[in-house]
Structure 1
Amino acid sequence: MKTALITGANRSIGFELAKQLAGQGIFVYLGARSLAKGNAAVQELNETGLKNLKAIEIDVTDPDSIFSASKTIETEQGKLDILINNAGILGKSPQGAAATAVEEIRNVFDTNFFGVIGVTQAFLELLKKSDSPRISNITSGLGSLTLHSDPEWKYYQVKTAAYGPSKSALNAYTIVLAHELANHNFKVNAIDPGYTATDFNNYSGPGTVEDAASFILKHTLTDNNGPNGKFFSNDIEDSTGISPW
């Protein structure tokens, strides 16, 4: 049985990812900053008949928490097949470039960028023990520099000094990581689930968590000939789903 870890999985898209992955027969570690909240989420999924899940406490901004989670999975599984770096924060609003405090920008980057790096590096050796390791970094269309420079883009006016740049940085890291791991059978991609109705945005998005999770898994559960180092977006209206960087 393949094993997956999803960070930030006790609610919203992460919760739906855990549900869909477990439904495909994959053992899922449902990552949450609070073990109590993680256990509650697992219990909810257990009640639907899904049993191949376990809550694991992981705060992506806490190196000790990350290390403890990696040691737990190493002891229990010996490897990891799928890592979905889903945990993220929006930060306080508004986020004007001239007025947003450096501390606030740093706080958002700590979770959305440095947190992903910390988790990825901690689990890399376990992923290398998989026959088909996959890393999906959950990003946003707001991280696309090309789209943000196009006045015709539908979200052109949505500028954020902390959130968007944190995802741009994540995209850049994804490119470097994918290149570095390409000869180890890894597939590493940045995936934007699209503007989805979640508590993250006060349910203002038009998309559903079900569709968002399905899109992420479509570009995660690929075969060994699948794409590597790409930026997929559920808001791109062509057959490839590939977003400009």
Structure 2
Amino acid sequence: MTTTLITGANKGLGFEAARRLLAAGHTVYAGARDAERGRAAAERLGARFVLLDVTDDASVAAAAKAIEAEGGLDVLVNNAGVEPRKADGGFVPFAEVTADSVRAVFETNVFGQVRTLQAFLPLLERSTAPVVVNVSSGLSLTRELADPESPTRFYPDLAYPSSKAAVNMLTVQYAKAFPGVRINAVDPGFTATDLNHHAGTQTVEEGTEAIVRLAQIGADGPTGGFFDANGPLGW
């Protein structure tokens, strides 16, 4: 039986990935920072709930200890993420961006993944087929945002694409440092979720295609790569 932890699993991509992996036979821990919402989501899914705030060292350590006590972990899906938006769904103008506002995004999207990986790697290394899936974004690709012909060039935020570019780099570096663990990044695509005020053009089922596929690779699967629903992507 494969045991999987998904962070930010109470809604959106995390919830749908949990649903699909449960259907595929995984035992799934639905991680969420809000206990009430997390438990409700886990109950709807038939998953196990674990309180996990990726921005808090003690919370992540407690989650790792709890999952270790219940038998360990095979797959970690680093899904929890934030995008800075105004209350009306609009982007924060560059003139209003501060170092603190960028740091807040990195705290979840980048440092949260590092914090979670560091805490769970000892458990993963005991698995016979350990896997890590880091949820990144097509907006991480500098070449696309710099290309006048690219449809993503318009994207006006600073913190979010920068944080996802950092996720790509930590994926490559972790994969080299831990060759026994299959560690990859995925681009879900422009999916309608709360993150983007449901402006996305894909369903959550479409958006979780790469996540679910990479979460199910075996010990001989790829590592240190970037994938979307159609296959490998160039960094």
TM-score scaled by length of structure 2 = 0.94
Aligned counterpart, 2:34: 34
- Aligned residue for 1:197? 192
Matching residue of 1:83: 76
Confirm or deny: 8 A CA contact 1:95 1:162 kept in the other structure.
Answer: no
Q: Which residue of 1 aligns with 2:233?
A: 243
> C-alpha distance in 2, partners of 1:124/1:161?
30
8 Å contact kept, 1:85–1:136: yes
Where does structure 1 lack aligned partners over 5 or more consecutive residues? 47-52
Which amino acid in the other structure matches residue 10 of structure 2?
N
1:59 to 53, 57, 61: 53
Among 124, 134, 138, the alignment partner of 2:131 is 134
CA distance in 2, matches of 1:178, 1:220: 15
Is it true that 1:109 corresponds to 2:106 in the alignment?
A: yes
- 8 A Cα contact 1:146 1:244, kept in partner: no
Please say if 1:122 is aligned against 2:115: no
Aligned residue in 1 for 2:66: 72
SS at match of 1:18: helix
Q: Which residue of 2 aligns with 1:50?
A: none
**Percent identity over paired residues:** 40
| Kept in 1: contact 2:9–2:18 (CA 8 A) | yes
Aligned length: 231
Query: What letter is aligned with 2:52?
Result: I
Q: Which runs of 5+ in 2 are unaligned?
A: none
Out of 34-43 and 96-105, give the one that drifted further: 96-105
* Residues 34, 7 of structure 1: alpha-carbon distance in 2 compared, 3 angstrom cutoff: same
Amino acid at match of 1:87: A
Across the aligned residues of Structure 1 and Structure 2, the Cα RMSD in angstroms comes to: 1.3
Equivalent position of 2:149 in the other structure: 152
CA-CA distance at 1:220 after TM superposition: 2.4
Partner of 1:225: 220
Residue 95 of structure 1 and its aligned partner are, at CA, apart by 4.1
Q: Kindly tell me: are residues 35 and 129 of structure 1, through their superposed partners in 2, closer, same or farther at Cα, counting changes over 3 Å?
A: same
Amino acid at match of 1:227: P
80-89 vs 18-27, which moves further: 18-27
- Residue 43 of structure 1 deviates from its aligned partner by 1.7
> Residue by residue, what CA displacement relative to the aligned partner does 1:212-236 show, whole Å, maximum 9, x if unpaired?
12221112211233211111134xx
Give the Cα–Cα distance (whole angstroms) in 1 for the partners of residues 232 and 25 of structure 2: 28
Report the TM-score, using the length of structure 1 for normalisation: 0.90
Moved over 3 A (4+): 95-99
Does the 8 Å CA contact 1:96/1:161 hold for their aligned counterparts? no
